[in-house]
Structure 1
Amino acid sequence: MDGTPADPEQNRGEQIEAAEREAARQRILAQAETDRIPAEETTRAVPERRWRRGQ
C-alpha cells in the first residue's frame, strides 16, 4: 500500500464481509438456542450401584 486512502470499493467489500460474518454468527447462535435443552428437562443424575457396594 502506498499510504493513500482505501479504495471505496474495497471498503464496501470489507463492510459486506463484516455483515456476512455477523449474519452467520446470528444464525449459529439461533441454532444453538434451538438445540439447547433446558435444565428443567434434563434427568437427575443417579449414582451407579457399583459405588454403593462398599457401604
Structure 2
Amino acid sequence: MDGTRSDPEQNRGEQIEAAEREAAKQRLLDQAEADRIPAEETTRAVPERRWRRGQ
C-alpha cells in the first residue's frame, strides 16, 4: 500500500468526519449564543461609594 487515499470508503469516512465536526461546531456556536447576555441587559459597573471622588 502506498499511503494514498484513493479508497472511496476512506473518502466517505473523511466526509462524514468533516460533517460531524461542522455539526459539533454549530452546536457550540448555538449554545454560546443561547448563553450570551445581551449588552442591553447588562449593567455598568459602578465603583463602591467609598472609592468615588468627592463623596
TM-score, structure 1 normalization: 0.80
Task: Indicate the residue corresponding to 1:24 in structure 2.
Answer: 24
Cα deviation, residue 45, structure 1? 1.0
Unaligned 5+ segments in structure 1 are: none
User: 1:49 Cα shift?
Assistant: 2.7
Aligned to 1:10: 10
2:40 & 2:8 partners in 1: Cα distance?
Answer: 52
Q: Does the C-alpha gap of structure 1 residues 45 and 9 become closer, same or farther in structure 2, counting only changes over 3 Å?
A: same
TM superposition shift of 1:43: 1.2
Which contiguous aligned blocks of 4+ residues in structure 1 show a shift greater than 4 angstroms? none
Aligned residues: 55
- Aligned partners of 2:3 and 2:50: how far apart in 1? 71
* CA displacement 1:10-51 (0-9 Å, x = unmatched): 000000000000000001000100010000000121112342
Shift in Å at residue 7 of structure 1?
0.6
Length-normalised TM-score, structure 2: 0.80
